[in-house]
Chains A and B, each alone.
Chain A
Amino acid sequence: NAGVTQTPKFQVLKTGQSMTLQCAQDMNHEYMSWYRQDPGMGLRLIHYSVGAGITDQGEVPNGYNVSRSTTEDFPLRLLSAAPSQTSVYFCASRRQRMNTEAFFGQGTRLTVV
Chain B
Amino acid sequence: AQTVTQSQPEMSVQEAETVTLSCTYDTSESNYYLFWYKQPPSRQMILVIRQEAYKQQNATENRFSVNFQKAAKSFSLKISDSQLGDTAMYFCAFMALDHTGANSKLTFGKGITLSVRP
Which residues from chain A sit less than 8 Å from chain B, CB to CB? 31, 33, 35, 40-45, 48, 50, 58, 88, 90, 92, 94-97, 100-102, 104, 106-107
A42-B43 in contact given A33-B106, A97-B101, A100-B95 (Cβ < 8 Å): no
Q: Once the chains are docked, how many angstroms separate the CA of A43 from the CA of B4?
A: 11
Which residues from chain B sit less than 8 Å from chain A, CB to CB? 4, 6, 9, 33, 42-45, 47, 50, 91, 95, 101-103, 105-111
Q: Once the chains are docked, how many angstroms separate the CA of A100 from the CA of B106?
A: 10
21 contacts between A and B (CB under 8 A): A33-B105, A35-B108, A42-B108, A42-B109, A42-B110, A45-B105, A45-B106, A45-B107, A58-B105, A90-B45, A94-B103, A94-B106, A96-B102, A96-B103, A97-B101, A97-B102, A100-B95, A102-B106, A106-B42, A106-B43, A107-B44
Do the beta carbons of B44 and A104 come within 8 Å of each other?
Answer: yes
Q: Once the chains are docked, how many angstroms separate the CA of A96 from the CA of B103?
A: 5
Q: CB-nearest residue of chain B relative to A31? A: B103
